[in-house]
């Protein structure tokens, strides 16, 4: 009898739970701290959270949330969802403390949710394939096959635009990611999609035929999303974000993940992708051996070599530097290289030289990944000029140990009012900035292509 009563009560409980329409409230800040865990709903994407080549989680949102959780004294528990629609569904159900997936702050969303202080600006862009269609305005989108992510800010904006462009039509999907939609455009499976500018910047390196013919929106802001009522969590996030920004750490993070995506050169990237297949395999083992010997990522060495010579072992510059790593005679002699045109010797010599530069900067306060960017700049322009840039950075109240500051100072070395008071004098300071930027871009593409 007692067993039947217990079963009946349990059945009633399940029925009540299933019919419960009471809104779920997010956990308070104190409850999060007491639990020792911050539950974050997110997506797997290069601009959010992803697993790197070593099998470790990384990404701009990951690093920020990890730092915020450490500030709270708790662990961060990422719940990776398949779509933005699933993220909103789980937030509504109280299954996460906040959502972090480069979520655009829109007026419509603010009616229902709380947003943190914004930490990034993006622009919604129409994305098509250059040899397919090239619309120049919203009017030109009529009649095209357009697909966007369901429940996204793209969908919201298109819905708003339809009020003034009634013939505008599009499809929505929860089964594909924005990156997959970009690939569908590249494969000509659909005409166009809409994506945030930071996502477009990254993925054009893998699909160089993609173009963004016009912006669909003005600049918009991105933030972390919470349920209404989680005011204490929002206030804590905002306070922490302000400190994070004031310390320069936010700028460092943006530089780390986006700093090398400046101008896009279609011809160069297309050629690079082809040479990864045709030239890179001939020299890959040399880069791997050199990287292991000198504790440098072999993809970094390969990217540097491409920037130097386009992987041409017989390359020669007007100034006399030669070989796949473009070594001067003096550097080659110092590194024990007998034949600069021998690709194996050149790669080992270049790796040894870069490692030696890194050792000299390592005694300073420069930390990775900035240490690598400083060293590459010194490989290009000379260590003395980089030291001058650090001196100039101090004089201007900037941080001499951050690449994000040094790259803004280096171009000043070509201006007389600055270089006349510096130890090493004039230098074409724009060159090392471009040099580092291109190597970072090549490395990023190479790592994606050879996975």
The tokens for 246 are 């004031």
Confidence of residue 288 (pLDDT cuts 50, 70, 90): very high
- Residue 221 · residue 105 · CB < 8 Å: yes
The closest alpha carbon to 97, from 6, 26, 3, belongs to 26
Average pLDDT over residues 35-52: 87
The tokens for 125 are 């862009």
pLDDT digits (tens, 9 = 90+) for 334-349: 999 999 999 999 999 9
Options 43, 236, 255, 308, the catalytic residue = 308
Give the bridge partners for 58, in sequence order: 50
Phi and psi torsions of 101, nearest 5°? -155, 50
- Residue 248 · residue 429 · CB < 8 Å: no
Domain boundaries, the chain: 2-118+223-258, 124-217, 267-449
- Range with the poorest average pLDDT among 49-58, 176-185, 193-202, 286-295: 49-58
- Residue 78 · residue 40 · CB < 8 Å: yes
Q: What is the pLDDT of residue 176?
A: 87
Classified by CATH at the fold level, domain 2-118+223-258 comes out as D-Maltodextrin-Binding Protein; domain 2 (3.40.190)
Secondary structure (H, E, C), the chain: CHHHHHHHHHHHHHHHHHHCCCCCCCCCHHHHHHHCEEEEEEEEECCCEEECCCCCEECHHHHHHHHHHHHHCCEEEEEEECCHHHHHHHHHCCCCCEEEEEEECCHHHHCCEEECCCCEEECEEEEEECCCCCCCCHHHHCCCCEEEECCCHHHHHHHHHCCCCCCCCCEEECCCCHHHHHHHHHCCCCCEEEEEHHHHHHHCCCCCCEEEEEECCCCEEEEEEEECCCHHHHHHHHHHHHHHHHCCHHHHHHHHHHCCCCCCCHHHHHHHHHHHHHCHHHHHHHHHHHHHHHCCCHHHHHHHHHHHHCCCCCCECCCCCECCCCECHHHHHHCCCCCCCCHHHHHHHHHHHHHHHHHHHHCCCCCCCHHHHHHHHHHHHCHHHHHHHHHHHHHCCCCCCCHHHHHHHHHHHHCHHHHCCCCCCCCCCHHHHHHHHHHHHHHHHHHHHCC
* Percent of the chain surpassing pLDDT 90: 65
The closest alpha carbon to 426, from 411, 437, 405, 436, belongs to 411
Confidence of residue 49 (pLDDT cuts 50, 70, 90): confident
For residue 119, pLDDT over 90 is answered with: yes
pLDDT digits (tens, 9 = 90+) for 6-29: 343 334 333 333 333 333 467 999
CA distance 54 to 389: 34
Confidence of residue 262 (pLDDT cuts 50, 70, 90): low
- 36 contacts: CB under 8 Å, gap ≥ 6: 74, 75
CA distance 331 to 354: 11
The closest alpha carbon to 429, from 409, 410, 416, 415, belongs to 410
Is residue 447 part of the annotated active site? The answer reads: no
- 265 contacts: CB under 8 Å, gap ≥ 6: none
- Range with the poorest average pLDDT among 134-148, 193-207, 219-233, 296-310: 193-207
Q: What is the pLDDT of residue 22?
A: 35
Global confidence as pTM: 0.65
Phi and psi torsions of 263, nearest 5°? -85, 150
Question: Which CATH code for domain 124-217?
Answer: 3.40.190.10
More confident residue, 319 or 415: 415
CB-count exposure of residue 380 (10 Å: 0-12, 13-18, 19+): buried
The closest alpha carbon to 98, from 86, 90, 109, 108, belongs to 90
Q: What is the pLDDT of residue 25?
A: 63
Same CATH topology for 2-118+223-258 and 124-217?
yes
Cα dihedral 441, 118, 406, 296 sign:
negative
More confident residue, 354 or 218: 354
- Residue 210 · residue 186 · CB < 8 Å: yes
* Percent of the chain surpassing pLDDT 70: 92
Question: Which CATH code for domain 267-449?
Answer: 1.10.530.10
Give the bridge partners for 77, in sequence order: 39
Q: What is the pLDDT of residue 55?
A: 67
């Amino acid at each position: 009898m007692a067993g039947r009563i217990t079963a009946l009560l349990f059945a009633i409980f399940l029925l009540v739970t299933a019919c419960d329409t009471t809104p779920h409230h997010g956990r308070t800040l104190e409850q999060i701290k007491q639990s020792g865990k911050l539950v974050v709903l997110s997506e797997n994407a290069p601009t959010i959270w992803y697993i790197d080549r070593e099998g470790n989680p990384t990404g701009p949102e990951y690093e920020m949330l990890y730092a915020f959780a450490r500030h709270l004294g708790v662990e961060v528990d990422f719940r990776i969802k398949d779509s933005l629609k699933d993220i909103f569904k789980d937030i509504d159900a109280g299954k996460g403390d906040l959502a972090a997936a480069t979520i655009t702050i829109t007026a419509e969303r603010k009616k229902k949710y709380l947003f943190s202080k914004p930490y990034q600006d993006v622009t919604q862009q129409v994305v098509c394939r250059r040899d397919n269609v090239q619309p120049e305005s919203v009017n030109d989108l009529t009649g095209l096959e357009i697909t966007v992510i369901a429940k996204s800010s793209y969908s919201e904006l298109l819905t708003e635009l339809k009020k003034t462009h009634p013939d505008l039509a599009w499809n929505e999907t929860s089964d594909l990611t924005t990156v997959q939609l970009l690939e569908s455009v590249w494969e000509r499976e659909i005409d166009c999609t809409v994506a945030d500018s930071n996502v477009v910047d990254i993925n054009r390196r893998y699909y160089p035929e993609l173009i963004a013919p016009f912006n669909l929106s003005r600049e918009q802001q991105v933030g972390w999303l919470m349920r209404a009522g989680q005011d204490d969590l929002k206030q804590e996030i905002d306070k922490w974000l302000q400190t994070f920004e004031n310390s320069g750490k936010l700028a460092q993070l943006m530089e780390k993940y986006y700093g090398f995506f400046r101008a896009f050169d279609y011809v160069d990237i297309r050629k690079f992708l082809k040479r990864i297949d045709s030239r890179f395999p001939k020299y890959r083992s040399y880069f791997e051996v050199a990287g292991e010997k000198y504790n440098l990522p072999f993809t970094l060495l390969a990217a540097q070599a491409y920037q130097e010579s386009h992987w041409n072992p017989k390359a020669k510059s007007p100034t006399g530097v030669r070989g796949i790593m473009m070594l001067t005679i003096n550097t080659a002699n110092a590194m024990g290289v007998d034949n600069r045109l021998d690709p194996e010797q050149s790669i080992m010599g270049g790796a040894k030289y870069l490692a030696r530069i890194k050792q000299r900067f390592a005694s300073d306060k420069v930390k990775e990944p900035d240490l690598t960017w400083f060293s590459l700049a010194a490989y290009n322009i000379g260590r003395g000029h980089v030291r001058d840039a650090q001196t100039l950075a101090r004089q201007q109240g900037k941080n001499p140990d951050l690449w994000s500051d040094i790259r803004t100072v280096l171009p000043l070395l070509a201006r007389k009012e600055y270089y006349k008071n510096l130890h090493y004098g004039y230098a074409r300071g724009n060159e090392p900035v471009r040099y580092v930027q291109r190597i970072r871009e090549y490395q990023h593409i190479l790592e994606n292509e050879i996975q």
